[in-house]
Amino acid sequence: MWNWDYAFSILPQILSALKITISATFVGFILALFLGLIFSVLVRSDIKIVSLAVKGIIQFIRNTPLLVQLYFIFYVFPKIGISLKPFTAGVLGLGIHYSTYLSEVFRSGIEAVPAGQWEVAKALNFSHIQAWIKIILPQVIPPIIPVIGNYLITMFKETPLLSAITLVEILQTAKILGAGSFRYLEGFTIVGIIFFLLSYPSSQLIKKLEVRLGAKN
């Protein structure tokens, strides 16, 4: 049933595809952080239309499947003149999808900062931007780091979806190898083990961090 020789023979190819998986995770994550922060600031905008529109966009993105969004970006964007490579489209999809989750995290983090902090900033004659950068964000970020870390792991586990838009990451590599040899067991098992070996220790690390941060406050 399980063939060790075959498993070892495909291992290097799967491992080399891991580069794609990991770089898609990180590029997507950076994009998600960036867009998430923008969304969370825009939702707080004083201009009613802006905050309502952004809320609507976030709702829509959160309530529709990432897979369909990927298809949309990969197949519909070219119709309006934007042809993207699978990697770019995938990273964009991942980044946009998770930015809506992260914006929620940022929002709750921002709301947890006491109003007095804003008043102090005003009293000290800080500009709005200065208040954000020097007073508010430094208090927002540390407590939400574990939550953000968990989203990084979640995104990592979502990257196999990018195989649907022809990106050859680890799952797609295993699938291609399986289709060539009619042996799927080894390839998919290896991919599962790789995901587990990377995500489980990371999540334990985040748990430790959470306890530590909790103890600090």
Contact predicate 161/70, CB 8 Å: yes
- Tell me: does residue 163 bind other proteins (CB under 8 A): yes
Among 64, 83, 117, 127, binds other proteins (CB under 8 A): 64
Instruction: Considering the complex, state which of residue 90 and residue 160 has its C-beta at the smaller distance from other proteins.
Output: 160
Q: How many CB atoms neighbour CB 40 within 10 A?
A: 24
Minimum gap (Å) between residue 83 Cβ and other proteins: 13
Q: 58, 60, 86: which is closest to 73 by C-alpha?
A: 86
- Tell me: does residue 205 bind other proteins (CB under 8 A): no
Alpha helices in 47-85 (DSSP H): 48-62, 66-71
Gap between the Cα atoms of 127 and 184, Å rounded? 60
Any idea of the CA torsion for 32, 36, 38, 43, to the nearest 10 degrees?
Answer: 150
Minimum gap (Å) between residue 98 Cβ and other proteins: 13
Minimum gap (Å) between residue 171 Cβ and other proteins: 6
Instruction: Considering the complex, state which of residue 120 and residue 193 has its C-beta at the smaller distance from other proteins.
Output: 193
Gap between the Cα atoms of 192 and 178, Å rounded? 14
Gap between the Cα atoms of 207 and 199, Å rounded? 12
Among 6, 26, 71, 132, binds other proteins (CB under 8 A): 71
- Tell me: does residue 178 bind other proteins (CB under 8 A): yes
For other proteins, the binding residues (CB under 8 A) are: 1, 59-60, 62-69, 71-72, 75-76, 79-80, 157-161, 163-164, 171, 175, 178, 183-185, 188-189, 191-192, 195-196, 199-200, 203
